[in-house]
Structure 1
Amino acid sequence: MSVKPEPASALFAGPFALATLSAPGRPAFPALVTPDGRATALQDAFGEPGLTMRQVMERWDEVLPRLRALAADPGAQREPLADLRVHAPVEPRQVFQSGANYRQHVIDLHVAHRAPGDDRPEEERRAEAAEIMDRRAAEDLPYVFIGLPSAVTGPYDDVVLPAWAEKPDWELELAAVIGRPAHRVTVEEALEYVAGYTIANDLTDRATVFRRDMPQIGTDWLRSKNAPGFTPLGPWIVPAESIADPGDLRLTLKLNGETMQDESTKDMIFDVARMVSYASQTARLLPGDLVLTGSPAGNGMHWGRLLRDGDVMDAAITGLGVQRTRCVAKAAS
């Protein structure tokens, strides 16, 4: 089931974006979308039946000029988005997730996740967290881990909360979509490998982040972040050329209409270029892969209000549109 947001005057920044769409009896297909809410199937426009969004990403340097021309063509065949279902815009092979990358968010989490027996005043623990963040920035040490593509779901799909998830939480994030294979790229050249940007909500079950049975092992990202549908993505991939400064975008998440997250990407400790470069020093980033850049302050742990059945999340980032997802609690089997 899906719950689309109300139409906006312009769906996104720039003259076009990309989406993966479908209709009854019509399998999912990549499309060019214009800000007025109309879509052109790229399989038809390019004369390539079976074309996928990942293949578009794999040919990004060649395809981008054709997309610009298609967006400007007044004779191009377009159909209303209202008649189509919007899916996650791309199926990544790899998802690179950035942890502890918004200064205020990490300070809040440090305070919320009080260690057993730590009875220090909140002010002292906040000061400690701030010092840790400043040291990480000075030492240039991003934190990246791997997510599962199977956790990705559409921007308007219901999010199923597993019965075992005791503390499901939201985490709105800016996601960079890779457009060229990237391995050991420098910070200065990293953005040349980014095709565009989209919205991700990196849901986390806070109760399973840390292994209580083996605390020396640390975090358990498989359990806490990778349930099916725990990464709503999209609705669009907005080309990087349409986003003037990814380091100055506003992220806003509303829960049942109430604003919970409202922050700028200026609060990131490590910017998009640094995160892409850092991930590429170890891994080979592939076209269509995602680099999630962390979440700002204002998650459920901060508010003392976690996700539950019937909640509706509206997540927006400047120039990238809005996703709306409804939470559905799964009964214990």
Structure 2
Amino acid sequence: MKIARLSMQQGYRYAIYDPDADDYIVLADDPLFAREVKPTGQRVAKADAELVAPMLPRTKVFGFGGTYSQGATAADLSTFLKPSTSVTGPEDPIMVPQWAPGLVHEAEIAVVIAHPLKDATAAQARKAILGYTVIDDLTVTGVGPAQAKYWDSSLPLGPVIETDFDYQQARITSRVNGNLVTDVQAADLAFSPEELVAIASQHTSLLPGDIVLTGTGTANGEVTHQDVVEVTVEGIGTIRNQIFAPHLAPQAN
């Protein structure tokens, strides 16, 4: 099931994508908290749907580094937090802060948490996962690790949350201005998504709506002013965002 969040005349509404009709079925409530998913009867054609970030983290985004290093242990992983204000939509422009000396993109799978977790096992974490989505963890270079990650709109996310997803069958790609930059298999992760969620829960309590990033499996790709970055995860979809950073634009001679 693909869960989307739409911008509509009456505000933001959750919806489920219907592949047979190629449209979205609008839901009455937030599926994260509703006891059962109830459609309103309203449908929105895919071509007319304005998708926004399918989930706004209620408290935080928890990220990892080093997750594709084979033989790594939990102690080898680097970790970081991003605020909820870092999340932006699957086609929103990325406004890079003036203080950023450079920028790279990181194509990843993210996990959306459905239930509270603390010091969980991987089996417990599996039961607490709502689904999976596509993210681009945009990171400023040349500054400290916290400053590199926490700026507004640094985490485009979407286009949907896929509840029925097998990461071991997924290919992750990124393109900058149409040119292939990232091409990895999620099966090469040294830790399963549920193992990463469990590890995250040992660092901090995870709450419904929190997002856990699974890390990048390739060298980070540099991006600059007006570049268009596309990140695709097979089985979920594609996000496409244009970078706006006039201060990083190449200077004419």
Aligned length: 246
Q: CA distance change for structure 1 residues 229 and 20 in 2, over 3 Å: closer, same or farther? A: same
1:190 shift after superposition = 1.6
1:77 shift after superposition = 3.8
The TM-score with structure 2 as length reference comes to 0.89
Alpha-carbon distance in structure 2 between the residues aligned to 1:165 and 1:38: 40
Q: Is the 8 A contact 1:142 1:270 kept in 2?
A: no
Give % identity. Answer: 30
- The aligned counterpart of 1:314 is 230
Unaligned runs of 5+ in 1: 1-15, 44-50, 104-132, 211-219, 301-305
Structure with greater strand share of residues: 2
RMSD: 2.1
- The aligned counterpart of 1:48 is none
Alpha-carbon distance in structure 2 between the residues aligned to 1:81 and 1:266: 30
Unaligned runs of 5+ in 2: 249-253
- The aligned counterpart of 2:32 is 57
SS in 1 for 2:3: strand
- The aligned counterpart of 1:81 is 46
Structure with greater helix share of residues: 1
Larger radius of gyration: 1
- The aligned counterpart of 1:178 is 113
Choose the corresponding residue for 1:237, options 150, 161, 172: 161
1:205 shift after superposition = 0.8
1:99 shift after superposition = 1.4
Q: CA distance change for structure 1 residues 165 and 37 in 2, over 3 Å: closer, same or farther? A: farther
> Per-residue CA shift, 1:143-188, capped at 9, x if unaligned?
3221111010000001112222122000011001111111121123
The answer to whether residue 138 in structure 2 is matched with residue 153 in structure 1 is: no
Alpha-carbon distance in structure 1 between the residues aligned to 2:247 and 2:142: 18
- The aligned counterpart of 1:99 is 65
SS in 2 for 1:277: helix
The TM-score with structure 1 as length reference comes to 0.69
- The aligned counterpart of 2:209 is 288
1:269 shift after superposition = 2.1
**Paired letter, 2:232:** A
**Paired letter, 2:32:** M
The answer to whether residue 9 in structure 2 is matched with residue 34 in structure 1 is: no
SS in 2 for 1:234: strand
Alpha-carbon distance in structure 1 between the residues aligned to 2:26 and 2:215: 32
Matches within 5 A, 1:1-333: 16-23=1-8, 25-35=9-19, 36-43=21-28, 51=29, 53=30, 56-59=31-34, 62-63=35-36, 66=37, 76-92=41-57, 93-103=59-69, 134=71, 136-137=72-73, 141-208=76-143, 210=144, 220-221=145-146, 223-239=147-163, 242-243=164-165, 245-300=166-221, 306-331=222-247
Moved more, 87-96 or 161-170: 161-170
Alpha-carbon distance in structure 2 between the residues aligned to 1:37 and 1:232: 24
- The aligned counterpart of 2:251 is none
**Paired letter, 1:30:** Y
Moved over 4 A (4+): none
